[in-house]
Amino acid sequence: MHFHEDQGFVHRVASEITPRDVYDQRRTLLKALAAGSGGLALAAWAGRDALAQTSARPGKLAALPSARTTTPGGMTLEKLTPYPDVTSYNNFYEFGTDKSDPARHAGALKTRPWTVSVEGEIRKPRIYDIEELLKLGAMEERIYRMRCVEGWSMMIPWIGYSLSELIKRVEPTGNAKYVEFETLADQKMMPGVGSRVLQWPYVEGLRLDEAMNPLTLLTFGLYGEVLPNQSGAPVRAVVPWKYGFKSGKSIVAIRFVEKEPHTSWNKAASSEYGFYSNVNPTVDHPRWSQATERRIGEDGLFQKKRATLMFNGYEPQVGQMYAGMDLKKFF
């Protein structure tokens, strides 16, 4: 990462940040192409194989049809994390603090009826029914890296549309500088609500320009189906260049505000969880190094950890939003 004392963060050009595995794949494909028709066949097969990995539905929940995204940065050829791992290894403290608690307890969550109040510094506030939100934008499948601040990661095929589709419809005023996301807090359905680990309801937030970035996904499904309860059903945010806790789950309110929101983990430990919480391998958490990560589903005895990428590999799409900022201060 580039720092200048007088300029702050300067994001790299794309050629500087190509992940090593992607670079190696490209070299292999180029060699195959140079070999002639056999190489072409190999390249075609590799591309088909990479695309096919997203098509298999687990058959657990209702199908959620989508088109493959054309959004820059919205797809990757990295191997997907298996559905059982994605849906059984979760942080969702409303259901408990153990990784298995959400899958064990989230069955009690009722996702119909469900409404989301969109309010605050906007010209067109309203309460959206979940069925309205499902029809508001064209559903896309996006394969994103998901990086947890605890030093582990996944590759997940999400389904949704850019949050900007909703934001444009509600017309933020000039006073809207930030967007706040509020998660349901119903102790009858969520046994973790009321515990002292956090203040409830769970609140997260983004700057307005971050919320408007095309990669910020209002998300309704994964693996070709509607979201499982433990993954944030029926609607959540996914912000792939930030640590996972920044992506609010089971959203009941989206609020446009003038001042930086007091987010849940920042209130709990401001020295450990900054407002921005961008994935940054050069800024460690007090308890976890951020330089490397363990990919869930690749836990063999001799499996090496992966090097963590700046902005989780999405620097070409988001780095310009932080130009000039001291990312060690605004972590």
- pLDDT digits over 229-238, tens only? 999 999 999 9
Nearest to 279 by CA among 318, 305, 325: 318
51 belongs to a structural domain: yes
Q: How many domains does the chain have?
A: 1
**Paired tokens of 305:** 């950890």
Does residue 327 belong to any structural domain of this protein? no
Give yes or no for residue 7 having a pLDDT over 60.
no
Confidence of residue 300 (pLDDT cuts 50, 70, 90): confident
Per-residue pLDDT at 211 exceeds 60: yes
137 assigned to some structural domain? yes
* Residue span of the structural domain in which 265 resides: 2-322
Percentage of the residues of the chain whose pLDDT score is greater than 90: 80
What's this model's pTM, rounded to 2 decimal places? Answer: 0.86
pLDDT for 8 equals: 55
Which of 22-31, 169-178, 273-282, 285-294 comes out lowest in average pLDDT? 22-31
Q: Is residue 295 part of a domain?
A: yes
Over range 294-309, report the average pLDDT.
88
Across the chain, what does the average pLDDT equal?
88
Rounded Cα gap, residues 201 and 25, in angstroms: 44
Q: Provide the pLDDT confidence category of residue 299 given band limits of 50, 70 and 90.
A: confident
Answer whether residue 330 is part of any domain. no
Kindly state the percentage of the chain with pLDDT values over 70. 83
Cα(77)–Cα(25) distance, integer angstroms: 9
Q: What CATH code is carried by the domain that includes residue 222?
A: 3.90.420.10
Residue 328 domain-assigned? Answer: no
Does residue 313 belong to any structural domain of this protein? yes
pLDDT tens readout for residues 167-204: 999 999 999 999 999 999 999 999 999 899 999 999 99
